[in-house]
Amino acid sequence: MEVLTDILRGLRATGSVYFCDFLVPPWQLPYSGEDRAMFHLVRRGHCQIAVDEEVHDLVPGDFVFMAPGVDHVMRSEEIGETQTLLLCGYCEFENREDDVLMRALPRFVILRNEALEEWPWLTRTLEHLSAEYMSGAPGSELTVNKLTEVLLVQLLREDFGRNERSGIIAALKDNRVSNALTQIHQNPGGEWTIESAAEIASMSRSGFARKFKELLQMSFFDYLTRLRMRNARELLATSNLSVGDIGEHVGYQSELSFVKVFKKLHDMTPRAWRLRDSID
């Protein structure tokens, strides 16, 4: 399974557009305490975004993205300014315990129109998203939701224009580490060692361990554990398998060792997690 697809599937990422309309100044849209990622696209006119005690001017074609929990205000305060056509949307992540991809999201980023022009397919997605939302045609809600998910994948592929030297996107751009990650995601319950993963990457044991930690900001076994625990949480929520069987399925030889690792990461036992999930 392709790694980014598997990570997104585990996060259960979804998204949509909730607003696309003309705004007559003065206007203000405050966002506070949001537990989902937010994005805004200026289609016509201009406005400002206030975030982290800084104010940034936005013009047509500018796109902004905020990770969950980033308070900000979209506004246009001067009377007499032209109307602003603003597209606003969000991305939600049901299983935010998977922080590998959450780390790949920028806390706050502005992609200027000039940068977006380098990715015509991304511009077309945004234009299609806006047009589909405003059309109100039959099936438009489903189309908008799917396009928003596509938008997130495209932004992740390009690392939101940041070209970071670490994180899951940087790791996937490294052919050797990417080869190992692909095999790990296809069989996370396998009997993995650093040696076996390094062999897939065609690297020495020490070189692979060092490069993996440099790129992912966590050790190989920490990453593997988190991946196994993600699969365990999914099985706890969606299957009737016993805790012992789930532990064996995700790569642990005994129920005791599985419970110990699960509790260390989640501050509760697998049974308590399953009970909490059923109550929710």
Supply the CATH number for residue 243's domain.
1.10.10.60
Q: Does one domain contain both 103 and 206?
A: no
Q: Does one domain contain both 125 and 13?
A: yes
Q: Are 235 and 249 in contact (CB under 8 A)?
A: yes
**pLDDT at 94 (0 to 100):** 78
Half-sphere exposure of 219 (CA within 13 A, CB side): 7
- Give the CATH number, domain containing residue 132: 2.60.120.280
Q: Is the model's pLDDT at 89 over the cut of 60? A: yes
Domain of residue 225 covers 220-280
**End position of a domain, from candidates 217, 236, 258:** 217
Q: Is the model's pLDDT at 203 over the cut of 70? A: yes
Q: Does one domain contain both 52 and 169?
A: no
Q: Is the model's pLDDT at 217 over the cut of 60? A: yes
Residues 110-129 pLDDT 10s? 999 998 888 888 889 998 99
What is the crossing angle of helices 205-216 and 220-238, to 10°? 60
Q: Does one domain contain both 184 and 196?
A: yes
Q: Does one domain contain both 179 and 230?
A: no
Mean pLDDT, residues 139-146 = 92
- What's the gap between Cα 136 and its chain centre? 28
Q: Does one domain contain both 202 and 149?
A: no
Q: Does one domain contain both 9 and 123?
A: yes
**End position of a domain, from candidates 217, 238, 256:** 217
The 10 Å CB-count burial string (b at 16+, else e) for 10-28 is bbebbbbbeebeebebeee
Q: Is the model's pLDDT at 187 over the cut of 70? A: yes
Burial class (CB in 10 A: 0-12, 13-18, 19+), 215: buried
**pLDDT at 80 (0 to 100):** 72
**End position of a domain, from candidates 158, 174, 195:** 158
Name the pLDDT band for 278 (thresholds 50, 70, 90): low
Q: Does one domain contain both 86 and 148?
A: yes
Q: Does one domain contain both 13 and 127?
A: yes
Q: Is the model's pLDDT at 95 over the cut of 90? A: no
**pLDDT at 177 (0 to 100):** 97
pTM of the complete model: 0.84
Q: Per the structure, how many domains does the chain have?
A: 3
Count the Cβ atoms, other than its own, within 10 Å of residue 128: 15
Q: Does one domain contain both 120 and 67?
A: yes
61 SS3 class: coil
Q: Does one domain contain both 114 and 65?
A: yes
Q: Are 11 and 94 in contact (CB under 8 A)?
A: yes
Q: Does one domain contain both 66 and 148?
A: yes
**pLDDT at 7 (0 to 100):** 81
For 50, 194, 202, 210, 223, the CA distances from 205, given in Å and listed in that order, are 47, 6, 9, 9, 16
Share of residues in the chain with pLDDT > 90 (%) = 69
∠266-211-104 over CA atoms, to 5°? Answer: 50
